[in-house]
Amino acid sequence: MSTGPERHAVPALQVRGLAVDLGGRPVLHDVDLDVDVGELVGLVGPNGAGKTTLLRSVLALVGTRSGTVRIDGEISRRARTQVGYVPQRHEFSWDFPISVEGVVLTGRVGTIGWLRRAGVDDYRAVREALEKVRMTDLRHRPVGELSGGQRQRVLVARALALRPKLLLLDEPFTGLDIPTQELLMDLFLELRSEGQALLMTTHDLTGAMHTCSRLCLINRTVIADGPPEELTDPQVWIRTFGFREGSPLLTHLGAS
Partner 1 sequence: MLSIGEFVADLSNPLLTFLPKALLIAVMSSVVCGVIGCYVVLRGMAFIGDAVAHAVFPGLAVAFVLQGSLVLGGLVAGVLTAVLVAVFSQNRRLKEDSVIGIFFAAAFALGIVIISRAPGYAGSLQSFLFGSITGIPDEDVYTVAGAGAILLLVALGIHKEIVAASLDREMARSAGLPVFAIDLTLYVMVTIAVVISVQTIGNILVLALLITPAATARLLTDRLGLMMVLAPVIGALAALVGVYLSWSLDLPTGGTIVLTATLLFLLIWVLAPKHGMLGRALAGRSGRGAVAAPAEDTETGVVQQAATRV
Which of 5, 9, 93, 245 binds partner 1 (CB under 8 A)? It is 93
Name which of residues 16 to 75 contact partner 1 (CB under 8 A): 47, 59-61
Provide, rounded to whole angstroms, the least separation between the CB of residue 7 and partner 1.
23
Q: Please report whether residue 3 would count as binding partner 1 according to CB under 8 A.
A: no
Query: Which residue in 18, 52, 34, 61 sits closest to 166, CA to CA?
Result: 34
Name which of residues 137 to 166 contact partner 1 (CB under 8 A): 142, 144-148, 151, 158, 162
Provide, rounded to whole angstroms, the least separation between the CB of residue 158 and partner 1.
7
Name which of residues 182 to 241 contact partner 1 (CB under 8 A): none
Q: b/e per residue, 6-25, with b = 16+ CB within 10 A?
A: eeeebbbbbbeebbbbeeee
Q: What distance in Å separates the CA atoms of residue 146 and residue 149, rounded to the nearest whole number?
A: 8
Q: Which amino acid, one-letter code, is at 94?
A: W
Which of 43, 83, 160, 167 binds partner 1 (CB under 8 A)? It is 83
Q: Please report whether residue 94 would count as binding partner 1 according to CB under 8 A.
A: yes
Q: What distance in Å separates the CA atoms of residue 184 and residue 187, rounded to the nearest whole number?
A: 5
Which CB contacts under 8 angstroms, 24+ apart, belong to 1-8? 1/163, 1/195, 3/37, 3/72, 3/165, 7/72, 7/73, 8/36, 8/37
147 or 251, CB closer to partner 1?
A: 147
Q: How many residues bind partner 1 (CB under 8 A)?
A: 43
94 or 232, CB closer to partner 1?
A: 94
Contact letters for partner 1, residues 103-142 (x by CB under 8 A): x--xx-xxxx-xx--x-----------------------x
33 or 155, CB closer to partner 1?
A: 155
Contact positions vs partner 1 (CB under 8 A): 47, 59-61, 80-81, 83, 85, 87-94, 96-99, 102-103, 106-107, 109-112, 114-115, 118, 142, 144-148, 151, 158, 162, 171, 174-175
